[in-house]
Amino acid sequence: MLETTPMTDTTIGKLPVLVTGGAGYIGSHAVLALKDAGWKVAVVDNLVTGFRFAVPDGVAFYQGDIEDGELIARIIAEQGICAIMHFAGSVVVPESVENPLKYYHNNTAKSRALIEAAVKGGVKHFIFSSTAATYGIPEVSPVEEDMPKVPINPYGMSKLMTEIMLKDVAAAHPMNYCALRYFNVAGADPDARTGQSTAGATHLIKVAVEAALGKRESVGVFGTDFATPDGTGVRDYIHVSDLADAHVLALEALIAQPQRSLTMNAGYGRGFSVLDVLDAVDRATNRTIRRVMQPRRAGDPDSLISNNARIKATVPWVPRYADLDVIVSHALAWERRLTEIRGEG
């Protein structure tokens, strides 16, 4: 399936970008950020976890799999692709433990196929959606990029393996790359054009706003004995639109210095506890979410916060939505919009 719109004057001078997984949560926000900034964008997504409605009008859309080398070659040729932003993959940590082969297939083997197609197609720049899970349980928080990478689950390892592939490929071929290691991505497009739409999502803020709107009976709090101020785990929550902006800036940095590759944390450098998040949702809705205290999950660190000095020193990234209440308000607005889209309630 292909829908195209002719290039407009606003896209002249911008390299055509292919966004894999562009119908998914983070990918769809990257598409909006690119489109809003005047880049020509194409999307490939198999729609297993993505949604066609998340891809805006005026963006070439291909339904297919990144493992399909012939399809990727055709997209690169038809769209004149010069850069790839790679978001396609599987992201549920507990599932990766239960089904590791799925993750090594979807996140590692398919990434290898995509990278090979990119090299063959002459793509010069590659931006990869990586994760703080590559660090495992860091001994120190905030976490710096050069700290040991010791993933404790197949999800983190599958992403780290792709980072290693990109490093080796960039050394052997005329391609540079940026790996952005996300912390806890949350929120939604401020204009409610897209957001987290996956059924059964495990992201805390998504789960909490669903509970606040009556879509879940309660929210589980996994562990109340962490070495944190209130005993619950502390995480660095980054607004998805700020993260999307970081991708656009990273692409500009790769183009400006084609001999340089980058690995950067993507977070705000401060954390909020599980109870902080639930309190913020309560404030936004003027109701109290039912909280069910449960045992810790294996491998959950007390605190996981980014050191974001590198990204701020490397690109002119100035987050616009670095406020927990703003993140929650945007997530709530999208959840209500999603109810309308699906005809629920």
Catalytic residue set: 155
DSSP state of 7: P
Q: Centre a 10 Å sphere on the Cβ of residue 250 and count the other Cβ atoms it contains.
A: 25
Structure tokens belonging to residue 186: 């949350």
DSSP state of 143: B
Name the nearest CA neighbour of 233 among 290, 163, 171, 305.
305
Q: How far is CA 175 from CA 96, 127, 224, 240, in A?
A: 30, 11, 46, 27
Helices then strands, each counted (H, E), the chain: 11, 15
Distance (Å, whole) CA 5 – CA 120: 26
- Within 126-272, residue ranges assigned H as helices are 154-172, 204-212, 240-256
Q: Are 83 and 15 in contact (CB under 8 A)?
A: yes
DSSP state of 265: E
- Those residues whose C-beta lies under 8 Å from the C-beta of residue 19, and which sit 6 or more positions away, are 27, 30, 31, 34, 41, 42, 43, 44, 84, 85, 87
Residue 61 bridge partners (DSSP): 3, 43
Name the nearest CA neighbour of 90 among 46, 53, 60.
46
| Cis amide prior to 142 (ω within 30 degrees) | yes
Could you write out the three-class secondary structure of 24-50?
CHHHHHHHHHHHHCCCCEEEEECCCCC
Distance (Å, whole) CA 232 – CA 21: 32
Write the single-letter amino acid at 222. Answer: F
